[in-house]
Structures are given as structure tokens and as C-alpha cells.
């Protein structure tokens, strides 16, 4: 396998090939929806963060590193622009640790119970980010599902527009601790490395990654992503988002094929990366309605034929620049680079520099897109050099829309000119 020019051999590591050892779902996800009760996928709190697929959250389970690390994936997005979001499970002394919470549907809990039966109870739940609402909202329900588990959260938790105590979000105060402030969980096998804190104006950005030494896996949230050109396996459960965006007009049917899935996935990646890529034209209302409400498309699933997108020449090349064919392409997500870290490249450089000293680092497991990604101290160093040489947080091309948002927020005083200034740790959210 080749990643960033470095040749990696599975024989170099003491573990079997995780890609060959993956399990396809503990509950039967090999066949789309096979044997799954729709009630087991229900998520009743979805109105608090009304993102697709709303109240129905299918879960895809994979073993990433045999006997050590597992992935529980769901979809999350807006208007069928859906990408995987991951809860990572790692084996720790005494049982299991959950990192980056997800909605605890009955299907997800069944998978976790199956792991508990073999590896011991869930003893730790970690929210390693200060600003990830999609991870924060499920924390309370997930903690209640495992009443004996210790809960750890990143410092500086915040909510907007109203600053709510964590207890109001259902997080159990009696068994919750603050990462770094109160120590860290499982220090005998885990190293915890902070990215940030950075001042975002309304709150802070901070992400605390975990190096799980038995597996050599670095567990992160949003700091880096790896994107493969092949659609993630969770879309086998329901490829509708891919097929919806694979079309060129609203009157075209949602036709399933490998090519349609890849084309739809490439466009989803462009949407998720840039919000409004420069090769995307939004047609006028009259043109949009001309292709809508045709026979065969009069359903919610097809959005009644309403398809407000017109992809211009060049979108394939733009998508290819974000994805890898042989291996997932490792990168800082454009949204993070341009909206969170536009004036804070130094922060991610410093974080990567810390990783360069971790000789036991072997894998990277983000909360989004592909996992696991081969990732060593040498690759962390190479990535840092690459980021230092690139044009960081540009303003033109695909970046224009993101740049416009950032500049407007900066003009209005909602975000600081210097997010690297010392953040007041005394303002951490309490449980009062």
C-alpha cells in the first residue's frame, strides 16, 4: 500500500490486516436492512439537531483493528448531503471505552452489548471536542444507557445562543470529569494530546486526541479526514443520498449502479467540503420547477423531483483532488481549514509536531469518512511539511463561499482576528 509516497507493508506491524478482518455488522448489515427492525433505528431526539436521516439512524459496525478497535457509523447531513459519522470503541483495562458519542439507538446498543459480552463492560465514555454538537447531544442518552460508565468531556464545553449547563443536556454530573483538568482516563495505555484551545468568539475550539498504545491508533474527531473515492459501506443500507445527487436534473429517476454511486459520492464530498463548490450552479425557480413533479418522482424520497443543482464542467477534477483511489486521501477538511483555522495554522502544526515523537503511532481513526488510515510519526512530519508549503485557507475557487462566510463573521466581530490568544480556562462550562 502507498500513502503520500511511503510504501507500507502490513507485515511491518504485529497485527493482521484490519481491512481483511473487518466484520460487516454485528446485526446483519451485509444485506441492506436485512433482519433489522425499523424501530431499532429510531432516534427520538433528532428534532434537537434536525439533520438527515432525522429519526431513523441505521448503524454500520466494523472491526478496524482485530480485538482492539471497532467503528460504529451512522449518516448525518442536510438535503441528502450525508457523510459517515463515527463512534469509536477501543479495548481498555476492565472493558471498553467509547469515543465520540452517537445516538444510542437500539441497533447501536445491540452492537455494543455484543462487544461487551466478549470484551467486558463499557467503562468509559469520552467527548473529546468542545464544539462538536453532533457528538455532544447524544452524550447524555448514551451515558444513561451505561449507568456505570465514567464520563469524560473536553474542557470549555459551550452552547449557542444560550450557554446551558451540561446537566441540562442530560450529562450525569456525579460521574463526569473534565479531560486534562481532572486527569485523563486510562493513562496506563492512552496518551492524550490537545489541539487548541482556540478562541472562536462565541466559544472555543479544542479537540483532545487519544493515542491508544495497544493498537497504535490515534483517535481524533475533526482535526484530519481521509476520503476514499469509493462510497462508504454504510450507503449499502440505503444508497438514496448517492443516487439523488448522481443525477443532472430533477426529472431523472434514482437509478442504482456502481457508477451512479461513485458519481453521487463525489458530489457529496464536494458539498461537505466546500458547502457551495464553485462548479455548482443553482438554477432559477422556473427551470427547477420545469423538471419537478414528474411521474415516478412524486415522493418524499425523490423530493418530488426538486433538484436545485446544476453541475458545471470541472466538478469531477475538483472531487478527484479531494479523494484517493487506492487509499483514502489524508487532509485537513476544507471547512475546518477555512472556517475554524483560517488564522490558526500554527495550532495544527504544533499538534502534528507532538505526534512526530510518537514512535508507537500506526493508525489514524477520525470521526468522519474513512478509517483506519495508515499513519505514523514520519507521516505526521510529512503532513506538517506539506501544510506549511501550501496556500493555507485560500479565498478563491472552491474556497470562495467559505471565505465569504469567514470574512463576514470577521467584519461583524463574531470571530477574533487572533484565535491563538490565550483562552481563559476558568470559563469552562459547569454542571451547576
CA distance 263 to 231: 9
Nearest to 109 by CA among 135, 139, 72, 150: 72
Could you tell me the pTM of the whole model? 0.86
**Of 80, 74, 195, nearest in space to 142 by CA:** 74
DSSP 3-state of 102: coil
CA atoms within 13 A on the CB side of 123: 12
Count of residues making up the chain: 432
Q: Are 99 and 210 in contact (CB under 8 A)?
A: yes
- Cα dihedral across residues 177, 179, 184, 190: positive or negative: positive
Closest by CA to 96, choosing from 83, 114, 84, 82, is 114
pLDDT of 157-177, one tens digit each?
877 666 777 777 788 989 999
57: Cβ contacts below 8 Å, ≥ 6 apart: 41, 42, 43, 46, 74, 75, 102, 103, 105, 107, 108
What radius of gyration do the chain's Cα atoms show? 21
d(CA 210, CA 221): 10
Q: What confidence score (pLDDT) does residue 394 get?
A: 95
Position 159 scores a pLDDT of: 73
The half-sphere exposure of 75 on its side-chain side, counting CA atoms within 13 A, is: 29
Q: Which three cell numbers stand for residue 372?
A: 483506519
Give the residue extent of every domain in the chain.
2-228+327-427, 243-320
In b/e form, how buried is each residue of 265-293, taking b as 16+ CB within 10 angstroms?
bbbbbbbbbbbebbbbeebeeeebeebbe
2-228+327-427 has CATH 3.60.15.10 classification: yes
Q: How far apart are CA 338 and CA 328, in angstroms?
A: 21
pLDDT tens, residue order, the chain (432 aa):
333 333 333 333 333 333 333 333 333 333 334 567 889 999 988 888 888 899 999 999 999 999 999 999 999 998 888 999 999 999 999 999 999 999 999 999 999 999 999 999 999 999 999 987 888 889 999 999 999 999 999 999 877 666 777 777 788 989 999 999 999 999 999 999 999 999 888 788 999 999 999 999 999 999 999 999 999 999 999 999 999 999 988 788 889 999 999 999 999 999 999 999 999 888 777 766 666 666 766 666 666 567 788 899 999 999 999 999 999 999 999 999 999 999 999 999 999 999 999 999 999 999 999 999 999 999 999 999 999 999 999 999 999 999 999 999 999 888 888 888 755 443 444 443
- Three-state DSSP at 282 gives coil
User: Contacts for 386-393 with beta carbons within 8 Å, 24 or more apart?
Assistant: 386/4, 387/332, 387/345, 387/348, 387/349, 387/352, 388/345, 388/349, 392/337, 392/342, 392/345, 393/337, 393/338, 393/341, 393/342, 393/343, 393/345
Burial of 295 (0-12, 13-18, 19+ CB in 10 A): exposed
Cα 404 to Cα 338: distance, rounded to the nearest angstrom: 10
At 30 the pLDDT is 35
CA–CA distances in Å: residue 157 to residues 139, 142, 202, 423, 432? 12, 17, 11, 13, 13
Say how far residue 107 (Cα) sits from the centre of its chain: 20
Handedness of CA 406, 411, 413, 419 (dihedral sign): positive
Element (H, E) at 54: none
pLDDT at 180: 96
Amino acid at each position: 500500500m502507498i500513502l503520500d509516497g511511503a510504501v507500507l507493508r502490513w507485515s511491518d506491524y504485529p497485527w493482521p490486516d484490519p481491512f481483511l478482518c473487518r466484520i460487516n455488522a454485528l446485526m446483519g448489515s451485509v444485506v441492506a436492512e436485512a433482519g433489522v427492525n425499523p424501530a431499532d433505528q429510531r432516534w427520538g431526539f433528532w428534532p434537537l439537531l434536525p439533520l438527515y436521516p432525522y429519526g431513523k439512524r441505521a448503524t454500520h459496525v466494523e472491526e478496524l483493528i482485530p480485538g482492539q478497535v471497532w467503528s460504529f457509523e451512522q449518516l448525518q447531513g442536510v438535503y441528502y448531503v450525508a457523510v459517515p459519522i463515527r463512534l469509536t470503541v477501543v479495548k481498555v483495562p476492565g472493558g471498553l471505552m467509547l469515543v465520540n458519542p452517537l445516538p444510542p439507538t437500539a441497533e447501536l446498543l445491540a452492537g455494543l452489548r455484543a462487544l461487551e459480552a466478549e470484551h467486558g463492560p463499557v467503562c468509559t465514555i469520552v467527548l473529546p471536542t468542545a464544539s462538536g454538537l453532533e457528538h455532544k447531544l447524544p452524550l447524555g442518552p448514551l451515558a444513561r444507557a451505561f449507568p456505570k460508565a465514567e464520563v469524560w468531556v473536553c474542557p470549555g464545553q459551550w452552547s449557542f445562543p444560550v450557554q446551558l449547563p451540561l446537566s441540562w443536556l442530560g450529562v450525569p454530573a456525579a460521574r463526569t470529569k473534565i479531560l486534562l483538568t481532572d486527569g485523563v482516563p486510562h493513562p496506563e495505555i492512552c496518551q492524550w494530546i490537545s489541539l487548541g484551545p482556540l478562541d472562536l468568539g462565541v466559544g472555543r475550539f479544542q479537540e483532545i486526541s487519544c493515542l491508544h498504545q495497544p493498537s497504535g491508533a490515534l483517535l481524533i474527531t475533526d482535526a484530519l479526514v481521509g476520503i476514499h473515492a469509493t462510497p462508504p459501506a454504510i450507503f449499502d443500507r440505503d444508497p438514496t443520498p448517492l443516487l439523488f445527487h448522481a443525477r443532472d436534473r430533477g426529472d431523472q429517476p434514482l437509478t442504482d449502479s456502481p457508477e451512479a454511486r461513485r458519481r453521487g459520492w463525489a458530489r457529496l464530498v464536494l458539498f461537505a467540503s466546500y458547502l457551495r463548490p464553485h462548479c455548482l450552479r443553482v438554477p432559477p425557480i422556473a427551470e427547477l420547477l420545469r423538471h419537478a413533479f414528474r411521474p415516478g418522482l412524486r415522493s418524499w424520497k425523490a423530493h418530488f423531483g426538486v433538484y436545485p443543482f446544476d453541475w458545471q464542467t470541472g466538478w469531477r477534477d475538483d472531487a478527484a483532488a479531494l479523494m484517493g483511489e487506492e487509499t483514502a486521501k489524508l487532509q485537513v477538511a476544507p471547512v475546518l481549514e477555512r472556517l475554524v483555522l483560517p488564522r490558526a495554522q500554527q495550532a495544527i502544526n504544533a499538534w502534528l509536531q507532538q505526534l512526530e515523537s510518537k514512535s508507537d503511532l500506526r493508525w489514524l481513526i477520525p470521526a468522519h469518512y474513512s478509517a483506519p488510515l495508515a499513519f505514523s510519526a514520519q507521516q505526521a512530519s510529512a503532513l506538517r511539511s506539506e501544510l506549511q508549503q501550501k496556500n493555507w485557507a485560500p479565498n478563491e475557487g472552491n474556497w470562495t463561499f467559505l471565505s465569504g462566510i469567514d470574512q463576514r463573521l470577521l467584519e461583524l466581530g463574531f470571530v477574533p482576528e487572533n484565535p491563538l490568544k490565550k483562552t481563559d480556562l476558568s470559563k469552562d462550562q459547569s454542571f451547576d
